[in-house]
């Protein structure tokens, strides 16, 4: 029996039949799970981070997110960055501008592992600052385990798929989140848009892989881009918003 089959059976030992019936999920897992990733997942199971894999939740440009469950019955989101197909050269350029990761060598695995580490550390800082984000649980190499934002294994919708029932309230909450992230966590999300906000029903900010410290020389440019995206989205929903320059000035001045 191959390493893949052996560890996969361990991952799915209580839900094997479900996986075998879902051939698409099995194919995704084969593409994502190289040998190194399989051993990381197996180690996480042995350490009690989660107990059972349920299948793919979403597929992104660089990573796949799977649903898992721990021994207490809590759902866990498991984000796995693909080693073979991730654009590590682009990742390295972003890491090089972040003071925390500027010395990462241009090696594919090291870059992807650092990318996952940065996202996990960003989640930790954001969560500790009180920003509504998935609670980080564990990170090892290219795998991140975090709180599952949803119910019964079904994720809450992203804002791009389902506009908030009260757009004005959602805008105000997000604005407060960005301020809190900047002031208390010392971070800029750097990729904030309706694609990276889930409604639970209040906004929860996700995908912190591009998040960077306010000490990054590019942080102001990235903050403005975040606010450009958010303002554009809510203006389409007829929300009256301040100008982006005014919002950015307010965020930065409150943090001085």
Is residue 11 located within the same domain as residue 86? yes
Name the active-site residue from 98, 191, 226, 256.
191
Listed residues 103, 129, 154: the one ending a domain: 154
Is residue 112 located within the same domain as residue 19? yes
**Residue 10 DSSP SS3:** helix
Listed residues 154, 188, 204: the one ending a domain: 154
Listed residues 154, 188, 213: the one ending a domain: 154
Q: Rounded distance, CA 65 to CA 51, Å? A: 16
The CATH number linked to 216 is 1.10.510.10
Is residue 104 located within the same domain as residue 203? no
23 vs 243: which has the higher pLDDT = 243
- State how many domains the chain has: 2
107 is catalytic: no
Is residue 45 located within the same domain as residue 127? yes
Domain that holds residue 164: 156-254
Is residue 30 located within the same domain as residue 131? yes
**Res. 42 pLDDT band, cuts 50 70 90:** confident
Mean pLDDT computed over every residue of the chain: 86
Tens digit of each residue's pLDDT (9 = 90 or more) over 180-206: 999 999 999 999 999 999 999 999 999
Is residue 136 located within the same domain as residue 220? no
Is residue 145 located within the same domain as residue 46? yes
Is residue 49 located within the same domain as residue 135? yes
- Cβ-Cβ contacts under 8 Å for 205 (sequence gap 6 or more): 126, 131, 132, 133, 174, 177, 181, 189, 192, 196, 197
Beta carbons within 10 angstroms of residue 123's beta carbon: 27
Is residue 148 located within the same domain as residue 160? no
**Res. 37 pLDDT band, cuts 50 70 90:** confident
Name the active-site residue from 34, 70, 107, 207.
207
Tens digit of each residue's pLDDT (9 = 90 or more) over 72-127: 999 999 999 988 766 667 777 777 777 777 677 677 788 888 899 999 999 999 99
The CATH number linked to 55 is 3.30.200.20
Q: What would the mean pLDDT of 167-192 be, rounded to a whole number?
A: 97
Is residue 9 located within the same domain as residue 89? yes
191 is catalytic: yes
pLDDT at site 92: 75
pLDDT at site 29: 60
List the single range of 41-50, 132-141, 171-180, 226-235 with lowest mean pLDDT.
Answer: 41-50
Residue 201: which of 229, 242, 173 has the closest Cα? 173
């Amino acid at each position: 029996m191959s390493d893949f089959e052996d560890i996969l059976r361990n991952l799915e030992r209580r839900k094997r039949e479900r996986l075998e019936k879902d051939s698409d999920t099995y194919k995704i897992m084969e593409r994502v799970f190289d040998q190194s990733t399989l051993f990381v997942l197996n180690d996480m199971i042995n350490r009690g981070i989660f107990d059972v894999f349920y299948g793919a939740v979403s597929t992104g440009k660089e990573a796949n997110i799977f649903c898992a469950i721990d021994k207490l019955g809590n759902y866990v989101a498991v984000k796995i960055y693909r080693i073979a197909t991730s654009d590590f050269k682009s990742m390295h350029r972003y890491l090089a501008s972040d003071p925390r990761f500027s010395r990462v060598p241009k090696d594919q695995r090291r870059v992807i592992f650092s990318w996952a580490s940065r996202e996990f550390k960003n989640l930790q800082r954001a969560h500790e600052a009180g920003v509504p984000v998935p609670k980080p649980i564990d990170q090892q190499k290219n795998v991140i385990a975090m709180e599952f934002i949803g119910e019964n294994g079904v994720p809450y919708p992203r804002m791009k798929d389902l506009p908030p029932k009260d757009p004005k309230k959602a805008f105000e909450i997000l604005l407060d989140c960005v301020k809190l992230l900047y002031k208390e966590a010392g971070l800029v999300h750097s990729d904030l848009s309706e694609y990276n906000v889930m409604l639970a029903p209040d906004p929860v900010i996700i995908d912190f892989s591009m998040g960077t410290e306010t000490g990054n020389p590019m942080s102001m440019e990235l903050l403005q881009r975040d606010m450009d995206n958010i303002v554009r989205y809510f203006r389409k929903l007829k929300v009256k918003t301040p100008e982006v320059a005014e919002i950015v000035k307010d965020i930065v001045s409150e943090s001085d």
